[in-house]
Structure 1
């Protein structure tokens, strides 16, 4: 790999979420980021780009393999073009910011900064509780946008202004900040679906197909934005425990598929 090719790899990394050069060698470059803990080794061999991720996350590689299955081989992603490499790095950076426990770490740092600026007498008061909830909900939404690629988990609508970060296990019922900020404890949904999901009027089965609560029986579903066959665009096994709890809250013993 010549110096021009190495510079190109560094620029692609910098533009797509891996802005720091950790090491450079004749056959590759190791890149990292200040916004997440994951690293990637990029090489150029036989006219193709190769990316090997170094991560402690149990979720990153499975998520990337779903999106880039055809490019994955022997612990490495093989990309045929600069655009394809940029797309992989961009998705990896988004996931790295969203997956546990990076969202929680970002939240704790934001809380510390904001509480430090408050008067000491406000510690432990309603003001602190409101600060924590506001920052937590903001960080959760950011993580959900990153994880779902800025599009509704069901419809694929990619208009952030109408998307809501919906908790499967409600915020107030979560046992810890880790649960509240877990990207798998909820879905990114368009506003109409969020309202229904938040009220336990819709949920999703183990395969991601939409379920209806009994209160919707006999109601014209079209004005609610519901249609036959609606389902999640994908479903990670880590969603399952939260969705199981959510399904249990539906107000009927027997739930019908849309």
Structure 2
């Protein structure tokens, strides 16, 4: 029996935790480095960061013959075109996802949603409840953690109102922007808070590193975050992105 398209999101109602960056990195790694077909629905209104990055990538490559050649070489090696990124309102996002999932041979294996921060945004609850999984990045900051837990609690509270209508299978937290200079006791303390609430947390932790900001530029420097290229192999080292994608893939049975 053919697997259905899986719907996931890297979501958090607190800004600055890296959800759009991680959505892009996960999508690009899976699409360009594996055999999986991916699509992204950017319903993070009004920022639309992932959609804007795609436009910026196209514009920069159009001005750089070296990048154009690299893109042609990538296509020749993989046969994969760029994954689709759909700019959407939260209210329209689920309809787009269902249209993608019904495409037959061209349908994606995975649709990632880039969500707006607030669950009060019109239409976003309907999207959240029709996801298969949500992965919530957290950082070692008291206010961020409180906001992240409030986000999960809001979702869980709404789930209890009409559980029979929900597709959402599970929510997982994971540490992002981990600074080795910070006390390990601080992370252990936050871990105890999360586990005391019986929330699931991934084993993979992502380090705090500037390599996440390395986008396509007119000069052909190594690229880490792009919608048209996979993360550079050298920059992937010690980023834990591969480990994160592997752990997520095992959970969602991708």
Q: Shorter-normalised TM-score: what interval?
A: under 0.3
What's the TM-score, normalizing by structure 1? 0.24
More relative contact order, 1 or 2 (CA 8 Å, 6+ apart): 2
Q: Name the structure with the higher strand share.
A: 1
Q: Which has the larger radius of gyration?
A: 1
What's the TM-score, normalizing by structure 2? 0.25
